[in-house]
């Protein structure tokens, strides 16, 4: 079992959390396996996925010893948080601030990623004990908004969730994102071809784009 420190390091080192929100248990499992083969080391299985907890258990049993963080998403309360941890989740993600969820995450040393949008919400989320703040929604904001929020809150580790592609991920990194919540650009990469190797390729492409953006920032 990964320690919390190891889980946070996996997120930091790759700069990505893959958000799997799909309509089929089989597709979600296939995407997870393919993405891990492509280098993804932190995955969020949202509770909206059919059989989400079964998926979390199966992936945790197979990959935790390999340093892969398996987490649960859309965790809205303490009861759901505990049941996800029982299923094997080592990371809990919510779209909003729920103190009960954060208390459970901290009690059992799971990584917590808690949603916020405004500066007040970001500060409240950090004060409540979240490890990482999930900027949500991103479709109505963008990298410019993140940069503006981080100007007075440079200490806040913020992960924008959604809207990231290999083409725009450098904008999010330049704006100060601690890591990127990666979605359909990877998880739906096999939809047209039926070949989950396309998911593996998409994962590698995204991780390479993040690494390149980070490297450029280190040189500036």
Choice among 44, 62, 139, 220 that is catalytic: 44
Which token pair is 153? Answer: 């809150």
Pairing assessment for the beta strands 16-20 and 180-182 based on DSSP bridges: parallel
Helix and strand numbers (H, E) in the chain are 10, 8
Q: What does the alpha-carbon distance between residue 89 and residue 92 come to, in Å, rounded to a whole number? A: 7
Of 220, 217, 138, 210, which is closest to residue 167 (Cα–Cα)? 210
The helix/strand/coil state of 191 is coil
Choice among 27, 53, 121, 134 that is catalytic: 134
Q: Distance between the two ends of the chain, CA-based, in angstroms?
A: 38
Tell the residue number behind the tokens 């990964």, with chain if given: 2
Angle between helices 52-63 and 78-87 (to 10 degrees): 40
Q: What does the alpha-carbon distance between residue 210 and residue 220 come to, in Å, rounded to a whole number? A: 16
| 147 is an active site residue | no
| 134 is an active site residue | yes
H or E element that contains 44:
strand 42-46
State the catalytic residues.
Answer: 44, 134
């Amino acid at each position: 079992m990964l320690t919390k420190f190891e889980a946070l390091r996996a997120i930091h080192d790759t700069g990505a959390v893959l958000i799997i929100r799909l309509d089929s248990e089989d597709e979600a499992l296939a995407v997870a396996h393919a993405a891990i083969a492509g280098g993804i080391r932190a995955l969020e299985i949202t509770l909206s996925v059919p059989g989400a907890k079964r998926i979390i258990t199966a992936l945790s049993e197979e990959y935790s010893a390999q340093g892969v963080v398996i987490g649960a998403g859309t965790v809205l309360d303490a009861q759901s948080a505990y049941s996800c941890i029982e299923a094997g989740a080592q990371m809990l993600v919510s779209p909003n601030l729920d103190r009960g969820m954060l208390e459970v995450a901290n009690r059992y040393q799971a990584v917590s990623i808690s949603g916020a949008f405004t500066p007040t919400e970001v500060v409240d989320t950090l004060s409540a004990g979240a490890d990482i703040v999930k900027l949500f929604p991103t479709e109505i904001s963008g990298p410019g908004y993140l940069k503006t929020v981080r100007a007075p809150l440079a200490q806040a580790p913020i992960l924008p969730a959604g809207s990231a592609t290999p083409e725009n991920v450098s904008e999010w990194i330049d704006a100060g994102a601690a890591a990127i919540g990666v979605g359909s650009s990877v998880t739906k990469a096999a939809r047209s071809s039926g070949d989950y190797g396309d998911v593996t390729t998409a994962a590698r492409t995204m991780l390479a784009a993040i690494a390149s953006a980070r490297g450029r920032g280190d040189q500036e």
